[in-house]
Each structure stands twice: as structure tokens, then as C-alpha cells.
Amino acid sequence: MRVAFVCIALLFTAPAAIAQDTPPVASELPQPAMVYSEQSPAYRLFPGDEVEITIYSAPELSRNATIGPDGRLALPLIGAVRAADLTAEELHDILVSAYAAHLRMPELTVTPRSYGSRQVFVGGEVARPGIYDMPANMDAFQAVALAGGFLPSAHRRDVLILSRARGATTVSEIDLSMRAVRSGLPGAQALQRYDVVYVPRSRISQVNLFMQQYVRDALPVQFSFYYDLRGNRTN
């Protein structure tokens, strides 16, 4: 009975907490501008990107080449060369070293010409979780807006960003609360291709879910009403 009384008390106090923590939808907030600086990471090539390779000492070897699904470029004389996850400068150094075995003066340039599909994954407590093409460089807040904005059950202060670079996966947290958005999202950075933006569930929503699944449905008595995850009263 003591557990039942505690559960009933939580049911009556949960709506007030939801009303206080429910943020406005993303469309109601100003879009923060991207900030570019010398510290911004250099773009890394991906399968589907096209690069122009100009070899000045052997113009007949110059060509435009597309990075294959295996992350490699097929080039004359040197065969397949890994290009995915490299910057244009890093690929330049690798090609100079490879062509040095065949050419006396392997002077060349590497210039990205076109880019394959740039997608990010947005999941968790957003209106439309899924895979989205990035129209341009954008940050986590803009990716959430692209996915329809936050649900009222979202925990906006600890949004996770999963990135994969050079064979390693990094996980970082970013605060997308109202206060952070209004201050310009300090520390926000442009998302990279195939990054994952995950919005976790707020604590109060976890309590409501627990109440619904493990208390209300399990108790032999039925409450006259309860509140669902979005704070809507249901008879």
C-alpha cells in the first residue's frame, strides 16, 4: 500500500514538472549561425567524392577520379590508393610518395571537385528520427530542427554526438537547452558526414514511462486518469 500511495503521489506531481521543463519546438527558436575558424577541422574525403589529380610532370596521367565504395582511388601506374578519411593534403603526400617510384619529379595537386551524399543520423526524442542529407554544414541544433524538433520528453542538456574518424569513434555531449541556444551554442561545431545525433529522454519522462509500464498496468486498481509522456491528460 505504501508503494501504491507513492505512485499515486508521483502521478499527481509529474504534470507540474512536465509543464516547467517542456521546451518550445525548434521552429520557435532562432537558428544559430555556424562559426568557422582556423581551428575548424579540415574536410575528409569519403566514398563518392570526386577529386581532380593534376600531375604536371606527366599530364597524360592527370584525371578526375571518384573514390570507390572501398575508399580507394584507381590510378594509372600506382593502382588502388586509399583516399577515404584523408584530407586533400594528406592524399597529396601519399600520391607524391607513390609516384616517386615511377616519375623523376612527381609534382601534382589534389583538388576536390564534387562531394557525395552527406548524411547524418538523428535519433531519440525528436519528432521524425531518421537519416537526413545535410544541405550544407550544420550543427547539432540544426540537425534536430531538420528532424522536426525536440519532443517535450527530450533531455536537451545532454545531447550526444557520435563521430567516426580515422577508424575511431568519439562521443561528445552538447547542451541544446534554451539558455545555450540563446547564448549562441558556445563550442558548437559543424557535423561531419555520418555523425549520429542522439537526443536522450528526460528524467521526468523516464519516471512517467516507469509509472505507466511497471506501476499503473501492474496494480490491481485503476487510476481515474494519468499523464502520458507528452503531458497530455487521458481519461
Digit-coded pLDDT (tens) for 121-141:
999 999 999 999 887 778 899
Q: Which of 77-86, 91-100, 122-131, 197-206 has the lowest mean pLDDT?
A: 197-206
Under 8 Å between Cβ of 78 and 98: yes
Under 8 Å between Cβ of 233 and 225: yes
**Highest mean pLDDT, choosing among 16-20, 109-113, 133-137, 201-205:** 109-113
Find all residues with CB under 8 Å of 232, minimum gap 6, and list them: none
Q: What is the mean pLDDT of residues 48-70?
A: 95
Under 8 Å between Cβ of 174 and 187: yes
Helices 2-21 and 203-210 cross at an angle (nearest 10°) of: 140
Give the per-residue pLDDT at 30.
43
Q: Mind listing the pLDDT tens digit for each residue in 8-41? A: 444 444 443 333 344 444 444 444 455 667 777 7
Residue 184, SS3? coil
Asked whether residue 226 carries a pLDDT value surpassing 70, the answer given is no
**Residue corresponding to grid cell 528526460:** 202
Share of the chain above pLDDT 90, in %: 42
Q: What is the mean pLDDT of residues 50-73?
A: 95
Q: Are strands 233-234 and 226-227 parallel, antiparallel or unpaired?
A: antiparallel
Under 8 Å between Cβ of 156 and 173: no
DSSP output for 16-40: HHHHHHPPPPGGGSPPPPP---TTS
How far apart are the C-alpha atoms of 56 and 138, rounded to whole Å?
A: 37
Give the per-residue pLDDT at 211.
52
In the predicted model, what is the mean pLDDT of the chain?
A: 77
The domains found in the chain, sorted by start residue, are: 2-41+117-216 (3.10.560.10), 50-114 (3.30.1950.10)
Q: Read off the amino acid at residue 179.
A: R
Q: pLDDT tier at 165 (50, 70, 90 boundaries)?
A: low
Please name which of 80, 62, 79, 61 lies closest in space to residue 71, comparing C-alpha atoms. Answer: 80
Q: Are strands 196-199 and 119-124 parallel, antiparallel or unpaired?
A: parallel
Give the per-residue pLDDT at 187.
58
Give the per-residue pLDDT at 208.
58
Q: Read off the amino acid at residue 97.
A: S
Of residues 107 and 134, more confidently modeled: 107
